[in-house]
Structure 1
Amino acid sequence: MTPRLSRRLVLLLLAALAACRSAPPSPSAPPAPPAADPFQPIVFVHGNGETAALWMTTLWRFESNGWPRAKLHAIDMPYPLARDDDTKPQDGRNSTSEAMQFLAAEVDKVLKATGASKVVLIANSRGGYAVRNYVANGGGAAKVSHVVLAGTPNHGVWADVRNRPDNEFNGAGPFLTGLNAPKGPNGEEVTPGVRWMTIRSDNNDKYAQPDGAWIGAKGTPTNVFYDGPALKGAQNMVIVGADHRELAFGPKAFAGMFRFVTGRDASSTAITPETSVVLDGKVSGQGLNNEPGKGSFPTNLPLAGATVEVYACRLESGERNGPAVHRKTVGADGRWGPFNASPRTFYEIVVSAPGYATTHIYRSPFPRSSAIVHLRLERIADVDRDARSIVTLTRPRGYFGVPRDQVELDERSPPGGIPPGVAGVSAAKLKLLDAPNRAVSGEFNGERIVGRAWPAADNHVVFLELTY
């Protein structure tokens, strides 16, 4: 006969078990570790020649998933271009060492401001070089928990010791071979002690191509392949069809970043609108090279004395809907705001400064606040002086792909200057030879902007700037 417990004994055992579960811990037991901060500060690093403004929609997506705005910090390298030769000073360009030092200082600022012990670093393209160098050689391993490298050419844009060996983008040069040297017993390419993730395209990244067409050497092997951004020892994510910038700024990239950093899926990749929107940003310009024939170079330095005006405009015609709703002469900090905007209004932002073309930027409504709506002034190129008006459709957070995308400028689809195949052009310029002061429309995959064609003869240029 199988022994059976009495009902009374079962009840006693259940009561004892409940008492054990609810009993307080022994005074000698160590305290439970504090819960990890679910919202670590994140520092975002832009790519070659770019600005912090490219991270705007990514920040919005993190905010829409509960991330505190005060813990999201996109940096601006003062001189964002890489040197032709990393070992030689060059006007308006920074070295790998200078980029690393600037990033290190920014991380320390964020740690001090937030009281956190570590940050997350998320970088696009060349920005990943500064991140890797900082973690490996600048003390960053003790201050960084996670790294995301989006489209970073970790094995170079080309790899050939005979071709500009001291350029940082040469995968066979000393900078990248040093970063990629095997580490640990498994020969990993990443610095241990930090969690690493790379994001790459299957075959649509212009800087991860076996042929040198996108670096001015069509028909010449680069010795770099589609998987060039991947690293041994990292979690390597592939986004099919994504271009070089979409690997950082697209919704699928955000979903991968969020999952990697938090261990859970984002509730949505959509951007949640705010009822009250405040915009601000920095006005910057171009530096002039001392070397003959080198022209100018972009900077992220504040352009004091510039004037910014903002007009509400009509979607169907681009015409101004009344007087300026905001006007400011920029001070030493370069800031053009704050500006209280309507989240449902299309805007024309007009920027002028001595020595530059008056720039008219037409923008879609801003669904959320942003302090990184940066504005960079330019000059009219000599080759464009014959135009009655110069209108450029620009997509800062991605490239135009044909036939992948639906792109239209002034009812021309696709606009001139966008080659088919690998997506690698972020701007389409139209030189109008007819009368200026008419409506000009631009459209990309459903985002439509209408502006006005201002006269180039009066030193005006026009940008239809896409947000997505």
Structure 2
Amino acid sequence: MRDNRLWRLRRLLLVAIAGGPLVLSRTPAADAATFRYNPILFVHGIEGSGAQFESQAMRFESNRYPTSWVDEVDYNSTRAVGDKSEVDQQIDDAIAALKLRAGKSQVDVIAHSLGTSVMYDYLTNGDMAARRRANVGHYINVDGQNQNPGVPTLAVWAGRGTPGRNMDGAQNVTIPDQTHVQTCTSAESFVQYYTFLTGRRPLCDICRRSPIEVAGKALDFPQNSGFLGATVQVWPVDSSGQRSTTTPLASIDITDGSIGGGKWGPVSVQPNQRYEFALVQTGLPTLHIYYEPFVRSDHTLRLLASPAIEEYAGGRPGSVSSVTIRYKELWGDQGVENDQLLINGLNVCTEGLCPISKQVNAFFAFDRNRDGQTDLSQPDPVLSALPFIQGADVYVRASSPPDDTVSFQLISRGGGGVRTLNVPNWDAITDGVTLQWNDFDKLTF
């Protein structure tokens, strides 16, 4: 605390000497040479990716963690259920790289869901277990398995999960009124993460800061291999989702198709400006991914393509095929705590489609019955069988080229008013649409 007060005093003196106003939009990034905490590695869960750590990465960076000290392992979770050798090697490599970049002897690890089983196995099984434990300074086990891996551990549990869960020998905390994925991504969980890792509460939530650059990976989901051969195009768009330039701001070829590959960026973007990220791949429909305006640099964007699902939900001429993603479950059966997800004014987050038990993170809306009609009476039987995914019969007229605007709106149970993403009415034969909503509703604790 004394070091922090001295830093603030020096900053005040510098501003006074310069004769300018004191404006602190965030705590500045620490000097990596003097930053005393460990770098951080995130290990996601089943049917997940590093995207579930996007908000938390921005929070750590807002609280002085150097950007290069925060990383995520994108692994093939379907394979890892039965064979963890591949992800174990990825974790080994990521820890070694973080130690080298940070000049530290240990890394702190945060794992969620299936990732907690991956980490327990990683830290306890095999000839390398003791050496691996020595590399981990702190471990945070988020809403997953309950066996202590033998390193200093914080076990975080969802308050809307199975009651009474506990990990012996660990520090245990339950996040009230939150479900499985929300407990991974929320500001309330971040306070617990940060306090456990540093011994003090964070100074701020996600803090606005310019200039802004974005980067991430283009992945073939859920295997999480780099989307080899694709091109990432970044387009500024206007309030209706129409491209506001004749050429993309950036065009980046994906040349690494390995598991966890697919890196692109960084690309400089403007605050208060919306962007479209187009995944262009020969022989496949173009995937148009729309984000809310960025508030600070974000290096954890995951542009997720899933050709098999896109083929299933696409291929319907004259209609729009879309998926709405938010890494905070959509609730449709919780009364006053319900979310509302509106497509052209129609709320599709219903009691039958978004029960809290389904833990919906991705909602596919497409003309399932191929009849030009909407029928929300029952979920799509194929997509609803997948974890965290829901599908429904929602007809929205499309055209090629687009000739109209589709309105997607979110009214979150966390407040913050009506959020709107308008997009062109792309035809499902040649184009797919992804709406990526922030999993936070405000920028303060």
Same fold (TM over 0.5): yes
2:158 aligned residue: 201
2:339 aligned residue: 406
Change (3 A) 1:226 1:99: farther
Deviations 1:3-33 (A, max 9, x none): xxxxxxxxxxxxxxxxxxxxxxxxxxxxxxx
| Map 1:91-110 → 2, pairs under 5 A | 95-110=83-98
Shift of 1:377: 1.6
Shift of 1:444: 4.0
Shift of 1:238: 0.6
Kindly indicate whether residue 216 of structure 2 is the aligned counterpart of residue 281 of structure 1.
yes
1:267 aligned residue: 203
Equivalent-residue separation in structure 1 for 2:185 and 2:356 (angstroms):
21
1:451 aligned residue: 423
Secondary structure in structure 2 of the residue aligned to 1:38: coil
Shift of 1:383: 5.6
2:431 aligned residue: 460
Equivalent-residue separation in structure 1 for 2:331 and 2:170 (angstroms):
29
Deviations 1:261-288 (A, max 9, x none): 111111122x1122111112222225xx
Secondary structure in structure 2 of the residue aligned to 1:81: helix
Equivalent-residue separation in structure 1 for 2:267 and 2:158 (angstroms):
37
| Partner residue of 1:373 out of 284, 295, 301 | 301
Equivalent-residue separation in structure 2 for 1:349 and 1:335 (angstroms):
14
Q: Give the gaps of 5 or more residues in structure 1.
A: 1-35, 87-94, 156-179, 181-189, 206-224, 287-297
* 8 A Cα contact 2:398 2:426, kept in partner: no
- What letter matches 2:295 in structure 1? P
Deviations 1:386-440 (A, max 9, x none): 4611122211x22101232332221122435633343611122222253443322
Instruction: State percent identity of aligned pairs.
Output: 24
| Partner residue of 1:422 out of 339, 357, 363 | 357
Secondary structure in structure 2 of the residue aligned to 1:467: coil
Equivalent-residue separation in structure 2 for 1:97 and 1:361 (angstroms):
33
Deviations 1:125-172 (A, max 9, x none): 1111222222223232211121101121x15xxxxxxxxxxxxxxxxx
Secondary structure in structure 1 of the residue aligned to 2:38: coil
2:405 aligned residue: 439
Equivalent-residue separation in structure 2 for 1:394 and 1:257 (angstroms):
24
Deviations 1:363-401 (A, max 9, x none): 111122233212122233346534611122211x22101
Change (3 A) 1:444 1:336: farther
Equivalent-residue separation in structure 1 for 2:313 and 2:104 (angstroms):
51
Kindly indicate whether residue 310 of structure 2 is the aligned counterpart of residue 318 of structure 1.
no
| Partner residue of 2:142 out of 150, 171, 192 | 150
Kindly indicate whether residue 173 of structure 2 is the aligned counterpart of residue 237 of structure 1.
yes
Secondary structure in structure 2 of the residue aligned to 1:44: strand
Equivalent-residue separation in structure 1 for 2:321 and 2:341 (angstroms):
16
Equivalent-residue separation in structure 2 for 1:274 and 1:70 (angstroms):
17
Shift of 1:112: 2.3
1:18 aligned residue: none
Deviations 1:167-226 (A, max 9, x none): xxxxxxxxxxxxx4xxxxxxxxx244x2111111222x4xxxxxxxxxxxxxxxxxxx43
Shift of 1:82: 4.0
| Map 1:79-98 → 2, pairs under 5 A | 79-82=76-79, 86=82, 95-98=83-86
Secondary structure in structure 1 of the residue aligned to 2:329: coil
* 8 A Cα contact 1:356 1:377, kept in partner: no
1:6 aligned residue: none
| Map 1:157-172 → 2, pairs under 5 A | none
1:362 aligned residue: 290
Shift of 1:244: 0.8
Deviations 1:99-128 (A, max 9, x none): 333312321222122221111111111111
1:61 aligned residue: 59
Would you tell me which structure has more strand in proportion to its own residues? 2
Equivalent-residue separation in structure 1 for 2:312 and 2:348 (angstroms):
25
Secondary structure in structure 2 of the residue aligned to 1:312: strand
Shift of 1:361: 0.7
- What letter matches 1:408 in structure 2? L
Equivalent-residue separation in structure 2 for 1:151 and 1:191 (angstroms):
15
Which structure's CA Rg is the greater one? Answer: 1
Change (3 A) 1:307 1:367: same
Shift of 1:257: 0.4
CA RMSD after TM alignment:
2.2
- What letter matches 1:425 in structure 2? V
Q: Give the gaps of 5 or more residues in structure 2.
A: 1-33, 367-394, 440-445
* 8 A Cα contact 1:104 1:134, kept in partner: no
2:372 aligned residue: none
Aligned length in residues = 352
* 8 A Cα contact 1:38 1:262, kept in partner: no
> TM-score, normalising length from structure 2?
0.73
Secondary structure in structure 1 of the residue aligned to 2:123: helix
* 8 A Cα contact 2:341 2:348, kept in partner: yes
Equivalent-residue separation in structure 2 for 1:266 and 1:383 (angstroms):
43
